[in-house]
Amino acid sequence: MSILADGALVKEARRRRPPRLRPCVLSCIVVLSLAALFMPLAWSIELVVVPVDGPNASITELHGITHTGQLVGTFRDVKGTHGLLCTPPVDTLCSPPFLNPLDLWFNGAKAVSTQVQGITNTGQLAGFFLDVKGASHGFLCAGFPANLDCHQVDVTIDSVIMTNTLILGIDEQGQFVGSYHDPQTRIHGFLFTGGSFRRIDVPGSVATLVSGVVTTSGTTTTIVGFFVNAQAGIQGFYCQLPISQSCFTTFDVTLDGIPQTMTQAAGINKIQIVGSFRDEAGNAHGFVCQLPLHPECFVQVDALKGVNTQILGINDRGQMVGHYRDQSGRQRGFITMVPSKFSVGGPP
């Protein structure tokens, strides 16, 4: 989940006056190194990063990482937007010999853009692509990395095929989440589980997007994401199944007792939620929350000597991925190289 704003995903929501979302629509890879410098504030940390970029990329993002360090994301070059795969040996940095673009073909036509949003430890890929008519469709791929076999996925509810499907996350059980447009062009979230699609709407929301899903103990499934509220604000949410009106916990990143704006939860593992938010000056920052969710659980995360850090995914080891802008203004991806066991009031 990057978070995906600036594109087809929130186009319709913006018509209803919500602010400009900035989810992650391009992905590659930045690699956060072992070293970390701590700011003097207990709720904030800066990380040294080692950047990794897509081939000839102007913009790169990372969205997913497996337990062994296989990476997926998106990058943009002069030819367009492509998926990005990186398959280094275990615990080896992602570097050009292991980096490969991914451009999907469906129904005999090459996708206008491909964005890989998630990967499981068994090598199943998930994401979305843009067709030649400008419509978005989800996709799932098996056989990663050697023998990819991909198929198109469109949300279908009550035998009606919905439009602009985006798959934004997937878990080890093959459940996946994302968003779609209904016939009235309203944006809803969804969860695919048990062979069918479930519509997800945060109560009172104008638009809902589900960006992360995790199953613990084999049976307990939790989803996270973000939504546009009736006041055109953006907030995160957390819901442990079963889906009901009362399962949703909505939240704003809170630092030193001060709520921040435009909270977008992008990913979750068994013990942590990650995502991004905006400060009062409009700058983006990453966050990590050690569960359980409460106002004191949040730690701000920024790339050292970078700006506009956004965290888009996390694996079960606590390694985070996302993107930031370096001192030249270039957007680059990243991965943390050590588990991100942050706790408020102490170093990770």
- Residue 320 has phi, psi (to 5 degrees) of -110, 150
Q: Which pLDDT band, with edges at 50, 70 and 90, does 330 fall under?
A: very high
The pLDDT > 70 percentage for the chain reads 85
Q: Any idea which residue has 């999907």 for tokens?
A: 104
Distance of CA 131 to the CA centre of its chain: 21
Per-residue confidence (pLDDT) for residue 147, from 0 to 100: 86
pLDDT, one tens digit per residue, over 205-254 is: 999 999 999 999 878 999 999 999 999 999 999 999 999 999 999 999 99
Residue 63: closest CA among 76, 53, 49, 73: 73
pLDDT band of 41, cuts 50, 70, 90: low
pLDDT value of residue 91: 74
Residue 342 has pLDDT above 50, yes or no: no
| Predicted pLDDT at 260 | 97
How many whole angstroms separate alpha carbon 295 and alpha carbon 125?
Answer: 33
The domain made up of 8-335 has a fold known as: Neuraminidase (2.120.10)
Using the Cα atoms of residue 259, residue 260, residue 264 and residue 270 in order, give the sign of their dihedral. Answer: negative
DSSP result, 270-293? SSEEEEEEE-TTS-EEEEEEESSP
The answer for residues whose C-beta is within 8 angstroms of residue 103's C-beta and 6 or more apart is 82, 83, 110, 111, 114
What does DSSP say about strands 272-278 and 196-200: parallel, antiparallel, or unpaired? Answer: unpaired
| Whether residue 1 has pLDDT greater than 60 | no
Domain residue ranges in the chain: 8-335
More confident residue, 336 or 165: 165
Instruction: Take residue 221 and report the two structure tokens written for it.
Output: 């499934």
**Token digits for 316?**
């079960």
**DSSP 8-state code for residue 324:** E
Residue 92's pLDDT band (cuts 50, 70, 90): confident
| DSSP label of 316 | T
CA dist 314 and 341 (Å) reads: 12
DSSP character at residue 162: P
Segment 18-29 mean pLDDT: 38
CB of 116 closer than 8 Å to CB of 84: yes
Mean pLDDT in the chain?
86
Q: Is the pLDDT reported for residue 20 higher than 80?
A: no
Query: For 7-34, what is the mean pLDDT?
Result: 38
Q: Given this model, what pLDDT does residue 52 score?
A: 82
Q: How far apart are the first and last CA of the chain?
A: 23
Does residue 302 contact residue 44 with C-beta atoms inside 8 Å?
yes
CA distances, 152 to each of 39, 104, 165, 166, 167 (Å): 45, 10, 10, 11, 11
pLDDT classification of 107: cutoffs 50, 70, 90: confident
The residue among 311 and 336 whose pLDDT is bigger is 311
- Check residues 38 and 96 and name the one with the higher pLDDT: 96
- Two tokens at 23? 């989810």
User: 3-class secondary structure for 82-134?
Assistant: EEEEECCCCCCCCCHHHEEEECCEECCEECCEEEEEEECCCCCEEEEEECCCC
Residues 54-81 have pLDDT tens digits of 999 999 999 999 998 899 999 999 999 9
pLDDT per residue over 125-170, tens digit each?
Answer: 999 999 999 999 999 999 888 888 999 999 999 999 999 999 999 9
Residue 222's pLDDT is: 98
The more confidently predicted of residues 276 and 6 is 276
If you count them, how many residues does the chain have? 348
